[in-house]
Amino acid sequence: MSRHIKKPQSALLLGAGYVARALTPVLQKQGWNVQVTTRSGDTALQNVTCHKFNGEASKALEAAFQSADLILSSIPPFKDGSDPALSALGHLTPKAPWIGYLSATSVYGDRAGKWAFEDEPPSPTLDRGRARADAEISWIETLWPVHIFRLAGIYGPGRAPFKKLKTGHARAILKDDHVVNRIHVDDIISAILLSLTSPAAQTVYNLADGHPAPPQDVLDYAAGLIGMPPPARAALTDESISNMARSFYAETKRINADKAQQELGWRPIHTSYRDGLADILSKISGVS
């Protein structure tokens, strides 16, 4: 049975990446005392305690880990699948009744465009997917009250294609029948907050908006929002495409997020890239 957090107290965010930076002020508004880690020990976040963490945990970080009421890790695994946070802190005993780990839908590998569900065994084909799958296992094997969120491609303010389109750096890479899954950062945060109020230890949730789409459709729509023509096209076989970029087209799947909706009562505010991009544009001056 999962323990419930009675009231906001101490939150430790391992890694201060895009999601953690967006989550921090939301938690603070609810009354959480937030601590974060960064590689340098510095952060632009306001009113937080920042611990330096580059693989070795300080005594202060160890104490924070053991005393936190909420722990969320967004630190990616090493290439061999080992988890940096667990390698440094896994020998400790946290008291937190809720621990979250931000994973990725790359653990599913290639599903030839079919839907992927949480109860299916991961079958990653790329190194980054295999590393994520291994890290998930490591978190689950702690037997702590871990909640794993497999995130689709994250977008939001500062992570939208408007700037690339304006500067002429956007390019649509074409591959027949290829789709990409997305999730707006605000919808990740809303799912995390709901999980805090309805904890279910050792649970995995997919987080995606449920409307996967070809990458060129997204770029074309974004271009239209800012009065730009569709960006240039390139075939996947084009020699100018890097191996890293090409790897994102090696797998295609559709991510089902019904479980989060049914068990957490989660409903994404941004139900597709269309309203997500329009919302981002409405809240920024200039481009993002």
90 pLDDT more than 70: yes
Residues 190-219: what's their mean pLDDT? 97
Q: Structure tokens of 137? A: 């296992």
Tokens of 3: 């323990």
* pLDDT tens, residue by residue, 163-194: 999 999 999 999 999 999 999 999 999 999 99
CB environment 52-83: b (16+ within 10 A), e (fewer): ebeeebeeebeebbeebbbbbbbbbbeeebeb
pLDDT at position 1: 41
Residue 209: helix, strand or coil by DSSP? coil
Q: How far apart, in whole angstroms, are the C-alpha atoms of residue 269 and residue 53?
A: 34
Domains and CATH numbers, the chain: 10-154+184-209+255-269 (3.40.50.720)
Task: Encode pLDDT of 9-47 as tens digits.
Answer: 999 999 999 999 999 999 999 999 999 999 999 999 999
At residue 153, the 3 state secondary structure works out as strand
Which string of DSSP letters, residue by residue, matches 251-277? ---EE--HHHHHHH----SS-SHHHHH
60-79: average pLDDT: 98
pTM of the shown model: 0.95
Question: Can you give the pLDDT at residue 272?
Answer: 97
Q: Taking all residues of the chain, what is their mean pLDDT, rounded to a whole number?
A: 95
Query: Percent of the chain having pLDDT more than 70?
Result: 97
| Region of 30 on the Ramachandran plot (φ > 0 left; ψ -120 to 50 alpha; else beta) | alpha
Decide: 5 and 64 in contact? Cβ < 8 Å: no
pLDDT (0 to 100) of residue 287: 47
User: What stretches of 3-53 adopt beta strand conformation (E)?
Assistant: 10-14, 33-38, 49-52
CA pair distance 10, 190, nearest whole angstrom:
19
